[in-house]
Amino acid sequence: MELDEEKEFQWYPKSAKGGNHIGQSYLVYCYLNGIGTTKDDEKAFQFGIGMTKYEEKAFKLYLKSAEGGNNSGQYNF
């Protein structure tokens, strides 16, 4: 199956603006690497690159989701 990176990219801004963290991550990745769009570090920054990390808060949230049986929480924890 061949992927159409440009069509796929069109959905990431919609999900990112809706607060979907996976969409935000993919959007940053695409902007940083020029996948489906023009490489743009400034736009990647707008979605979190270079922002302050809240590692303690993230740790607590991953722990909570892992304890609840969430696979992603278990993996990231």
* pLDDT at residue 77 in the model: 44
Give 27's Cβ-side CA count (13 Å radius).
Answer: 23
pLDDT (tens digit per residue) in 2-48: 678 888 888 888 888 887 888 888 888 899 899 999 999 888 877 76
Using CA atoms, how far residue 73 sits from 7, 19, 67, in Å, is: 29, 18, 8
CA atoms within 13 A on the CB side of 20: 11
